[in-house]
Amino acid sequence: MITTQAFLFQQLELDWTSKLRMTIGLSENFSRYDINRSIDASTNDPSSNVRRFNPLIIPRVALVYRVNENSGIHGSISSGFSPPTIAEVRTNEGSINLDLEAERGVNYEVGYRTQWGIFNVDVTAFYFQLDQTITTFTNEQGVVLFRNAGATDQRGLEASLDYVPFRNQNTWIREIRLNHAYTGHYFEFARYESRGIDFSGNQLTGVAPHTLVNLLDIRSKSGIYLNFTHQFVDEIPLNDANTVFQESYHLVGSRIGWRNTFKGRWDVEVYGGADNLLDETYSLGNDLNAFANRFYQPAPGRNFYGGLKVGFRY
């Protein structure tokens, strides 16, 4: 299999004022697959296959406005073109799928960033209209396959807050850092019908509407460090009909260690930690639209680890 891809890009930046900058970009994508098979996994005779995707001119317009030295507002409108990957065209059980169409979409985005004292804030909202969305399903042999699923509307909000409530190089504890990140993905099928069933309006398969990540990092003068992580994942639809969901779960982990440098050349680190401290039952890498409802890939329960790292600088 030979993949040929080419990409042309040009960009123009305009500073309308000392605070307002505009960026205009144009790109053109060329993509082609050439598959010459001597053995075919299906009943088809081995043959040469070619799939060429018509090149498209993709525009993008973005604006950035600097409110002051510590904050700014940004917005953009951009189109997208994404041909199927090799793994989607040539599946792991040997068949090929040349009927897949390239995904095409338009994204509208606006955001705000600021630094206020010890706080760094970043908030972005977007609305992504995607056509020919590529989704997955599992056949009766347990093989993950791909298909186009009409159109999807993907509305989202992403926000992060990080800050350092304590920092002092003269005390034993030198720094305490906190970070919080929230993602809201309100994705749904705008237009999708399969085997006579209309899934329009359903949640997009495999996407959690809400996720939250919290991090605590403590560093000391002696090289000892301690961190905690917490992740919340909302329930996830596992089939297009939205009749099966993975339940929401909380993952909590911790790690403690010591690192130091000797004689300016030797870097040594000793560490240990635990994952899934709450011993949650959850699944990672769910099989979406799985045959016979074989959706789940069970993840480990509470588990522990440790290690030693030694590095040498020339």
Over range 187-207, report the average pLDDT. 87
Q: Kindly list the distances between the CA atom of residue 240 and the CA atoms of 38, 128, 236, in Å, as whole numbers in the listed order.
A: 36, 19, 11
Query: Which pLDDT does position 150 carry in this prediction?
Result: 77
Measured from the Cβ of residue 189, the count of other Cβ atoms closer than 10 Å reads: 24
Q: By mean pLDDT, which of 11-25, 36-50, 219-233 is the weakest?
A: 36-50
Q: Give residue-wise pLDDT tens across range 39-95.
A: 555 555 556 677 777 777 888 999 999 999 999 999 999 988 777 777 777 766 666
Over range 32-40, report the average pLDDT. 68
DSSP 101: P
Q: How far apart are the C-alpha atoms of 54 and 143, rounded to whole Å?
A: 29
Strand-pair partners of 121: 114, 161
DSSP states of 146-199 as a string? EEE--EEEEEEEEEEEEEEEEE-TTSSEEEEEEEEEEEEEEEEEEE-EETTEE-
Domain boundaries, the chain: 117-312
Query: Which pLDDT does position 226 carry in this prediction?
Result: 97
DSSP states of 234-283 as a string? --EE-STTS--EEPPEEEEEEEEEEEEEETTTEEEEEEEEEE-TT----B
CB 130 within 8 A of CB 152: yes
User: Residue type at 211?
Assistant: T
DSSP 300: P
Q: How far apart are the C-alpha atoms of 204 and 220, rounded to whole Å?
A: 45
Q: How far apart are the C-alpha atoms of 123 and 109, rounded to whole Å?
A: 11
Share of the chain above pLDDT 70, in %: 93
**Max intra-chain CA distance, the chain:** 75
pLDDT over 90 at 290, yes or no = no
Q: Kindly list the distances between the CA atom of residue 264 and the CA atoms of 222, 259, 260, 268, 314, in Å, as whole numbers in the listed order.
A: 16, 13, 10, 11, 10
Q: By mean pLDDT, which of 191-195, 266-270, 272-276 is the weakest?
A: 191-195
Domain 117-312 has CATH 2.40.170.20: yes
Strand-pair partners of 146: 136
